Amino acid sequence: MLKVPGTNRFLFLPCRFIGTSSLPTIYALSTPPGQRSAIAVVRISGNHSKYILRRLTNSEKEPVPRVASLRRLYHPDQKRNLLDTSLTLFFESPKTFTGEDILELHLHGGKAVTGAVLKAIESLHDLEKGFNIRYANPGEFSLRAFQNGKFDLTEVEGIKELIDAETETQRKSALSSFNGENKSRFLQWRSQIVDNIAKLTAIIDFGEDTEIEDIESILTNVESDILQLRAVIRQFIEKIERSNILRNGIRIVLLGPPNAGKSSLINTISQDDISIVSQIPGTTRDAIEIALNIGGYKVIICDTAGVRDDSSDAIEKMGIEKALKKSESCNLCLLLVDPNNTPLIPESLKRHLASPHFQSADKVILINKIDTISPEDLDHIVLRISQEIGQKLPILPISCLSGEGIENLATELITKFQLLSDSSDESNPIIVSQRVREILSNDVLYGIDEFLSFKKDVVMASESLRHAATGIGKITGEAIGVEEVLGVVFSSFCVGK
């Protein structure tokens, strides 16, 4: 920030466009290392990209930008040592991912080919001759893009989320960050704050010449505008919290008496023999967790020990305790009932359902094994369950054996996931990094709250707003040192990105 001489005004100066022309040329294998594959891509970025191509192809022929060309690659010092025949692609600065010249070598996959080409590039490093060439650090290509103003930090973090995305919903929310939706939102908030700082600054600079009523009216306007912004930011943070479960996975716990079919349900949902299914009650003595993709949502499903009232086995008792404890911290609990059991639900489970510790989780009761009962019996059982538990919970009939009701269950689950993560066709989930989440609370909202408490002191109030605006600058990377950025954002990237 720069103070304008003779006034109390400040200018916000972006400090990240530092350029990268003096930095070493970097290279890395951009496809997974150490694996056999049809193609492996080596990416090179920096001033010496063309030089590397010339030396590897042993030819002075200028590459045509953005035109793929099949070239033979040789070791630079052993002109007859053919390394590979590669598709080469050259992108000319500045219209490239990093903003620098980029060369891509599409090699035949496999350790030996990639190893030989990487070694050949490495051999071109020669500081005395001015060729500073080295292997890239994790995330360094993206860092160069950031330093050259190609992306702001929210977009860079979007790239990482996109690479890490395991499910469709994660991919969609990552894309919205990558495409700059969050960026434009943050920039709009920042400009709203800066507008209000400007109004307060006008009062500080010219207050003595202004009518008191005018000052009051400006202050009221600023306050109501900032109050409205605070509500928007709070809503945004709430949405992040809800969307966060998309990244971490929606936690489902299966509860029920022994033999109700919990393990069978996991196998039916995942269409795999993941849990042990057996006729001996109490097969699952400990909690088993597996990650599944259900309808594009990442779900962590936990199979637990069967709950019964009369267990005398110490290990089984511990398993039951663990099952009940697990269910207290899940997002959704599926309570399985075997319609042939009496009582339908063990007393300890009924007590647990009524316990205050178990109220936050969403619950659905599943009557399993409906292939063993008649439709009339099913109606009767639904009624009995409602009476036994004394509360209204959704009840779904299913059969893990015949598959009846499973599709219905899947639809119900996906509706629950949409509600839990606030994601639907109309509303995309918002995934932001922990870094952004923290800055929003600790800087932006903090500054706004401070402004509201200082509203009689215009100088202090405008300082607080400045703190909030700087916070948004930290989020996008406009007001942040490159070293700080390196540590926090890029260290979690893979090499080659």
- Measured from the CB atom, is 69 or 283 closer to ligand GTP? 283
Which of residues 395 and 458 has its CB atom nearest to ligand GTP in the complex? 395
Q: Select the span of 73-81, 179-187, 312-320, 399-407 touching ligand GTP (CB under 6 A).
A: 399-407
User: Using CB under 6 A, which residues numbered 270 to 289 contact ligand GTP?
Assistant: 277-279, 281-284
Residue 149 in contact with ligand GTP, rule: CB under 6 A = no
Measured from the CB atom, the residue of 281 and 487 that comes closer to ligand GTP is 281
Find where tokens 């950031």 sit.
146
Under DSSP, the state recorded for 372 is: G
Measured from the CB of residue 306, what is the shortest distance to ligand GTP in angstroms? Answer: 3
180: left (phi over 0), alpha (psi -120 to 50) or beta: left
Q: Which is nearer to ligand GTP, 279 or 342 (CB)?
A: 279
C-alpha–C-alpha distance, residues 474 and 479, integer Å = 5
Q: Nearest approach, Cβ of 325 to ligand GTP (angstroms)? A: 16
Distance in angstroms (rounded) separating the CA atoms of residues 451 and 225: 12
The encoded tokens of residue 176 equal 């919205």
Q: Are 363 and 331 in contact (CB under 8 A)?
A: no
Task: Write the DSSP symbol of residue 307.
Answer: P
For ligand GTP (CB under 6 A), the number of binding residues is 23
Own/partner contacts of 344-351, CB < 8 Å, gap of 24 or more, are: 344/381, 344/384, 344/385, 344/388, 345/257, 345/385, 345/388, 345/389, 346/257, 346/307, 346/308, 346/309, 347/309, 348/307, 348/308, 348/309, 348/320, 348/324, 349/255, 349/256, 349/257, 349/307, 350/388, 350/389
Per CB under 6 A, the segment of 27-35, 105-113, 251-259, 454-462 that binds ligand GTP is 251-259
- Choosing from 24, 63, 76, 258, the residue that interacts with ligand GTP (CB under 6 A) is 258
Query: Does 401 help bind ligand GTP (rule: CB under 6 A)?
Result: yes
Considering the complex, state which of residue 219 and residue 277 has its C-beta at the smaller distance from ligand GTP: 277
Is the bond preceding residue 394 a cis peptide, omega within 30 degrees?
no
Q: Which strand (E) or helix (H) includes residue 365? A: strand 362-367
160 interacts with ligand GTP by CB under 6 A: no
x/- map, 187-226, ligand GTP, by CB under 6 A:
----------------------------------------
CB of 367 to ligand GTP, least distance (A): 10
Q: Distance of CA 329 to CAs 244, 322, 391, Å?
A: 15, 11, 20
- Nearest Cα to Cα of residue 250 among 364, 162, 174, 332: 332
CA angle, 115 as apex, 114 and 119 as ends, to 5°? 115
Our CB check for ligand GTP shows the closer of 202 and 277 to be 277
Q: From the CB of 264, what's the least distance to ligand GTP, in Å? A: 3
**Contact flag: residue 262 with ligand GTP (CB under 6 A):** yes
Using alpha carbons, list the distances in angstroms from residue 316 to 284, 338, 342: 9, 20, 21
The answer to whether 76 contacts ligand GTP (rule: CB under 6 A) is no
Footprint on residues 287-316 left by ligand GTP (CB under 6 A): 306
Stretch that binds ligand GTP, among 53-61, 261-269, 415-423, 426-434 (CB under 6 A): 261-269
When the beta carbons of 400 and 440 are compared against ligand GTP, the nearer one is 400
Q: In this chain, which of 145, 165, 324, 400 binds ligand GTP, going by CB under 6 A?
A: 400
Looking at the Cβ atoms of 401 and 460, the one nearer to ligand GTP is 401
Q: Name, in order, each residue with C-beta under 8 angstroms of 210's C-beta and a sequence gap of 6 or more.
A: 203
98 belongs to the binding site for ligand GTP (CB under 6 A): no
CB of 310 to ligand GTP, least distance (A): 14
DSSP designation for 278: -
Q: Give the number of other Cβ atoms within 10 Å of residue 325's Cβ.
A: 15
**203 or 337: CB nearest ligand GTP:** 337
Q: What gap in Å lies between CA 323 and CA 257, rounded to an integer? A: 11
Rg (CA), the chain: 30
Question: Which residue has the closest beta carbon to ligand GTP?
Answer: 306
Residue 346 near ligand GTP by CB under 6 A:
no
Question: Which phi and psi (to 5°) does residue 137 adopt?
Answer: -80, 165
Position 374 contacts ligand GTP (CB under 6 A):
no
Query: Closer CB to ligand GTP, residue 86 or residue 304?
Result: 304
- Beta strands 25-29 and 78-91: pairing type? unpaired
Determine, following the binding rule CB under 6 A, whether residue 369 of this chain makes contact with ligand GTP.
yes
Interface residue list for ligand GTP (CB under 6 A): 256, 258-264, 277-279, 281-284, 306, 368-369, 371-372, 399-401
